[in-house]
A and B are shown apart, each in its own frame.
Chain A
Amino acid sequence: MTRLALSTAALPGRTPAEVARACAPRGLAGIEIVLDAVPSESTARAWRALDVPVIALRAETGEVGASPELARIAGILEAPVVLAPDRVALARIPALARAYASHGATLLLGHRTRLAEVRRAAALVETVGSVALGLAWEIRPLDDDLSRATQLLIAAEPHMLHVRLHGGGPEQRAHDGRGVGEVFVQLALSRYAGAIALAPSCDASPELWARWAAGSSPSGCGSRGGALVAEGRLELDVRAVEPKDRIDAVLSSYDVVGPGGTLGLIVDHDPDCMSHLLTATQPEGSFRFEYLERGPETWRVDVVRRS
């Protein structure tokens, strides 16, 4: 089973215990802890008792990543260590892998969405031949060309054990059309069973992630009910509503316009599914769906209710 996890990077200033508690509203199954130093043994033992498991420790600096002591801590915590890409020289990896193996821990080499980088790291994992070594893919949808994700997965298998998505969460609408969907289809079809850690992109605001983690809509602008723009006509900009709240927003707006009224929907995907939603929930023939604009980025439809 894949596990969606929250990185401590998403909630700066909060402790791992606070980030672990923040997982519940979103149904997240674990946390990734970004390390600025090697934690003590007592800290590691405290982390074992958090609300959700620690699914990875992320070493951002070469100094932390190359520390054999971190291997011992990872063994205590029973969580893999992910090295941020390009922080530790590959020549040091075989010795580190031995340290991790001796503590029953796992070291994952982070790489970006670059085929040559993945092949080099996968070759090293094969050469060292240690079960203590694996790969961690860092996906940055705003910067990366995701069209070669399939080849990348083939090159990385079966060593891919961790995925970190920079963005996702409250930022996912900014990734529309970048190919993230296809990446996760390929991961699913390859039966990927590791964790997917959500971390903010470089330019994300901490407030955006804090609101999202609390379970509220990222827009937070009270647009869920739609706006009455003319007598008998309500407009709902679905783009501003979080996916999980969209069904309720469409149904409640549909109720508000009433028989004979028109609900104008502005959507960031083909609203075909909303036609299915209304077909499933309303009496047969009680509405008509009229497309005013059909993508590729924005769709507009009028849902005309029969009098």
Chain B
Amino acid sequence: MITTQPIELDVRTIPPREKHPAIFRTFDALERGQAFVLVNDHDPFPLRHQFEATRAGQYSWTYVQSGPVIWRVSIAKS
């Protein structure tokens, strides 16, 4: 059986100035219907508003894990 690994971006390893550009670069590289899992050490809810401001209607946002140490959000391109 062939299993496809999910696309996972752990931004805990990415320096502050490069975090958000890296997240949007990953999202923009997705095909429609694809998703990636964002891993972070805090709730990235402000980012959701940034998605809403710049990519409204193009994404979906699903919490896979909500703290208290690690947050995982599946962000899909619709």
Q: Which A residues fall within an 8 A CB radius of B?
A: 1-2, 4, 24-27, 165, 168, 172-182, 184-185, 188-189, 191-193, 196, 198, 239, 243-247, 268-270, 272-274, 276-277, 279-280, 297
Given contacts A175-B15, A243-B42, A244-B41, contact A191 B20 (CB under 8 A): no
Question: Is B19 among interface residues, defined by CB-CB distance under 8 A?
Answer: yes
Q: Which B residues fall within an 8 A CB radius of A?
A: 4-22, 25-26, 29, 36, 39-43, 45-50, 53, 69-70
B29 to chain A, nearest CB (A): 6
Give the dominant DSSP class at A's interface.
Answer: helix
Given contacts A180-B15, A189-B7, contact A25 B21 (CB under 8 A): no
Max chain A C-beta neighbours (<10 A), residue from B5, B11, B13, B29: B13
A182 touching B13, Cβ below 8 Å: no
A182 touching B69, Cβ below 8 Å: no
B22 touching A181, Cβ below 8 Å: yes
B6 touching A1, Cβ below 8 Å: yes
B36 touching A188, Cβ below 8 Å: yes
B49 touching A243, Cβ below 8 Å: no
A273 touching B50, Cβ below 8 Å: yes
Given contacts A26-B69, A27-B69, A181-B22, contact A173 B15 (CB under 8 A): yes
A81 and B6 CA atoms in complex are apart in Å by: 25
A294 to chain B, nearest CB (A): 13
A280 touching B49, Cβ below 8 Å: yes
A276 touching B50, Cβ below 8 Å: yes
A277 touching B49, Cβ below 8 Å: yes
B69 touching A184, Cβ below 8 Å: no
B17 touching A176, Cβ below 8 Å: yes
A188 touching B8, Cβ below 8 Å: yes
Could you pull out 10 A-B pairs where Cβ atoms are within 8 angstroms?
A1-B6, A2-B10, A184-B14, A188-B26, A192-B5, A196-B10, A196-B13, A247-B42, A273-B50, A276-B49
